[in-house]
Amino acid sequence: MNDRDRSDTPIAWHTLDAAEVARRLAADPQTGLAAAVVANRRQQFGANALPEGRGKSVVGMLVGQFTDFMILVLVAAAVVSGVVGEPQDAIAILIIVLLNAVVGVVQEYRAERALEALQQIAAPLATVRRDGQTRVLPATELVPGDIVLLEAGNGVPADLRLIEAEQLAADESALTGEAHVVDKNVETLTESELAPGDRRNLAFKGSLITRGRGAGVVFATGLDTELGRIATLLHGSEVIRTPLQKRLKRFGRRLAFAVLGVCAVIYGVGLLRGEPIVLMFLTAVSLAVAAIPEALPAVVTISLALGARKMSRSHALIRRLPAVETLGSVTYICADKTGTLTQNRMRAEFAQIGDERCESIDPDPAGRSGWLGVALALSNDVQQDDDAAPVGDPTETALFEFAAQNGYRKADLLVDHPRLREVPFESDTQRMTT
């Protein structure tokens, strides 16, 4: 009834035709599920949502700042300074330790809040056929067997086996890392072992419909979806210390052993020379405290925080400060996914009209290049609500934005040029006509 049909053997839904999928899920593509069936399946499969990890509290973040070995050495030095009657040293060391902790907590807190805002990849609403009616429901209420309707601009709310597809295309970069959109169809595939990006008759939770219209049967929800599997893998990943953290830990241990060794030698020599025991103990402790580089952790943390701040200006989110150092240690990056290393968006720089290179378009529609501005603004399926970011095929979006930058706004032009018919883009003709 879901991706595994509640058995141990996964079902290759892309190898089943639409009629067989509907039969297995007991779904009617025309009327959808009945309310009683929905209630039963919701109880069986649960909500169509990914479990939210419990975020760290500020106290937890603060405690986490005191796990570094050098910080523990400084805390020990502060305690010893206080015990032997050196309150000034103890206070100075504690101020440095707290400053280091505050900088780390502030950075982590900001990153956590930003990540909460980014965790909106799943569609909040879905258009569904139920009891013979079309309804708009929260995506969390979907169950296997629901018939979901899709159109350009929609986020896919669950994993679907497509049963209708009219010039349908989806952006699956959030799952596959590939920047280009994927054309979708309803054709049955024969090969069972295919990567998600090659299953053209499926639409995955978390992807975005960029063009066309379609409908699909929900076959997986929540953690059973491809997005859910990724979330499960991320949840189980272990935190690996960076090279800098490893070096600082190693340095702290060596320094601690060296200081203790030197202090022990001085203490022993003093006793052999007949010096008072208390005096030699205080001398050894003072030497140990003086040998500890109190400012080192704070200097490292502030340096990493400045790096994170600089990267944030380029819209790079640093969740943990040591990641800045890891990135700085990179020598080569080998990747085949352009969208991973760039802004993952196309932009039109100029238009070529005959032998003339036009950095801008004539603002007069009757001008030499004005007709091009009208065509770029109208001959596309890009959707844009008010001041929201345009949604659609990346190539069409780039041309749409180029036209808008030159004063050709689609919403304004549609008043005098309403769309009557459309010939969609095809690889054979290499053009779209409206």
- Residues assigned a catalytic role: 336
Residue 146 near residue 218 (C-beta atoms within 8 A) = yes
DSSP classification of residue 211: E
351's enclosing H/E stretch is strand 351-353
Quote the tokens at residue 359: 């950095």
Least Cα distance to 143 among 162, 156, 157, 131 occurs for 157
Q: Locate all alpha helices (DSSP H) within 189-242, ordered by sequence.
A: 226-235
Q: How far is CA 280 from the centre of its chain?
A: 58
Question: In 87-204, at which residue ranges do the beta strands (DSSP E only) sit?
Answer: 125-130, 133-138, 147-151, 159-171, 182-183, 202-203
CA 314-316-322 angle, to 5 degrees, is 125
- The strand pairing partners of 75, in sequence order, are none
Instruction: Report the number of secondary-structure helices (H) and strands (E) in the chain.
Output: 15, 11
Q: What distance in Å separates the CA atoms of residue 258 and residue 253, rounded to the nearest whole number?
A: 8
Q: What distance in Å separates the CA atoms of residue 401 and residue 412, rounded to the nearest whole number?
A: 14
Q: What distance in Å separates the CA atoms of residue 417 and residue 198, rounded to the nearest whole number?
A: 38
Q: If DSSP codes are grouped into helix, strand and coil, which group holds residue 194?
A: coil
Least Cα distance to 145 among 266, 290, 45 occurs for 45
φ, ψ for residue 246 (rounded to 5)? -65, -40
Q: Is 355 exposed, middle or buried (0-12, 13-18, 19+ CB in 10 A)?
A: exposed
Residue 143 near residue 221 (C-beta atoms within 8 A) = yes
Residue 191 near residue 248 (C-beta atoms within 8 A) = no
Q: If DSSP codes are grouped into helix, strand and coil, which group holds residue 259?
A: helix
Quote the tokens at residue 140: 């969390």
Dihedral angle computed from the Cα positions of residues 124, 48, 135 and 410, in that order, rounded to the nearest 10 degrees: 30
Q: If DSSP codes are grouped into helix, strand and coil, which group holds residue 163?
A: strand
